[in-house]
Amino acid sequence: MMESKQQTNPSGHQEPTEVIQVGDSKITLLGTAHVSQTSADTVASLLETGAYNAVAVELCPSRYNALIEPDSLAKMNLMEVFRQGKAAMVMANLAMGAYQQRIADQFGIQPGAEQRMAISQARDKGLPVLLIDREIGTTLKRTAHNLPWWKRWTLFSGLILSLFSKEDVNEEEIEQLKQGDMLETTFSEFAHDRQDLYQPLIAERDEYMAARLLEEVRNNQHESILAVIGAGHLNGIARQLQQDIAQPAQTIEQLDQLPAPSRWPKLIPWIIVALVMTGFVIGFMRSPELGWQLISSWVLINGTLSAIGAAVAAAHPLTVLTAFVAAPITSLNPTIGAGMVTAAVELWLRKPTVSDFETLRSDTTGVIGWWKNRVSRTLLVFLLSTLGSAIGTYVAGFRIIDQLSGS
């Protein structure tokens, strides 16, 4: 059974709700605006009634920790971030944080105020807080898998370029946030076709959150749950609950699965290495002089472009030198990248201070801060030296082909 109505907060504004009966339990879905104090006030007034014995929020463990511990990034181990290949994910999170901070600075609205209110009120009243959203890392990986490779690059490059943007957030984006979903609106700024984003960012998460709510009702017998969700999810979650997902745990498991990685992207670096090494062998077979010319081209082009990347990131001079030396070698060993080596050297030469970690979020909202903060600068060193080496690999490869064909 489903009942639709409007909840009025103390200031007179109304927020959409859906009340759904699941067995002996009642789930109240409150559709909120992620950038509205009005929504936060509505959450507070509903919880003051004492009608609920559990509060569900549209957060995953990672986003929950980031919300209640804004300085959680200060606890990360940078070398582990690089070893585990999570540097791009950290930069994407910083990009989203910078976008949300621009909203806060421009409009005086703190995104997620209603989620903070729900968590705070639940804690004060001793109510359990249910984290019903899918882990953001899983959502981003499934989103990337849903896009062709060129759109993945467009999405990621747009996020990175947004780090250095000084443009104001326009009123249309604010309205999207009021009526929709934080993740979708953030990413749609950088995606040309929002339909590519809809399935993993909205539809899948609607089903996931509905399954989590049913799981909580059936496993923990919560009599009355207040679910604080974005207005863009209200109808979708209500529809999924009405359909009564037969096996919530199985649905959650399916939607938590990471897409199987394609084999060919992993093979490409090895194919390039094989071609380059073959070129060297052919060169030396023709003449030792030609062979050494090919090696010189490889070292100079690959090393120089990686060193330029490190220099643009304002790396330490020894890090720049390391990029020049390491890139031609690491490019022939796909198991380790130039960025891993340059980042390690930069961390050794310029170890981030406690203050760098504490001010990371605020520093990365501006262009200068990215080069000023040692943590973010190390991320830039990793990214740009890797990019330089990758470009150098292709440029040097074509140069070797040109030298062989002209000899």
Please tell me the distance from the alpha carbon of residue 91 to that of residue 376, in angstroms, as a whole number.
Answer: 8
Q: How many domains does the chain have?
A: 2
Domain limit, last residue, from 224, 239, 256: 256
**pLDDT on residue 54:** 95
288 shares a domain with 158: no
272 shares a domain with 214: no
**Cross-strand bridge partners of residue 19:** 3, 28
159 shares a domain with 36: yes
**pLDDT on residue 353:** 82
238 shares a domain with 102: yes
Return all residues near 216 (Cβ < 8 A) that are at least 6 apart.
Answer: 54, 56, 130, 132, 222, 225
DSSP 127: P
271 shares a domain with 252: no
**CA neighbor of 13 nearest in space, from 40, 35, 47:** 40
Please tell me the distance from the alpha carbon of residue 290 to that of residue 298, in angstroms, as a whole number.
Answer: 12
**pLDDT on residue 10:** 45
310 shares a domain with 196: no
- Residue-by-residue pLDDT tens, the chain, 407 positions: 444 454 444 444 467 888 999 888 999 999 887 667 788 888 999 999 999 999 999 999 888 887 777 666 666 677 777 777 777 777 767 766 676 666 666 666 677 788 889 999 999 999 999 999 999 888 888 887 877 766 766 666 666 665 555 555 555 555 555 555 555 555 555 444 566 677 888 889 999 999 999 999 989 889 999 999 988 888 889 999 988 788 999 999 999 998 777 676 677 788 888 988 999 999 999 999 999 999 999 999 999 999 999 999 999 999 999 999 999 999 988 888 899 999 999 999 998 887 888 777 777 777 788 899 898 899 899 989 999 999 999 899 899 988 888 76
Domain limit, last residue, from 229, 256, 283: 256
304 shares a domain with 250: no
**pLDDT on residue 158:** 63
Q: Count Cβ atoms within 10 A of the Cβ of residue 375 and give its class: 0-12 exposed, 13-18 middle, 19 or more buried.
A: buried
179 shares a domain with 235: yes
Please tell me the distance from the alpha carbon of residue 276 to that of residue 298, in angstroms, as a whole number.
Answer: 9
285 shares a domain with 357: yes
Expressed as residue numbers, the domain containing 161 is 2-256
247 shares a domain with 211: yes
**pLDDT on residue 56:** 96
Count other Cβ atoms within 10 Å, centred on residue 151: 16
Instruction: Classify 9 as helix, strand or coil.
Output: coil
**pLDDT on residue 32:** 84
198 shares a domain with 307: no
300 shares a domain with 357: yes
Place of tokens 């489903």: 2
Largest CA distance in the chain: 87
Instruction: Classify 156 as helix, strand or coil.
Output: helix
**CA neighbor of 214 nearest in space, from 393, 40, 29:** 29
Domain limit, last residue, from 256, 273, 292: 256
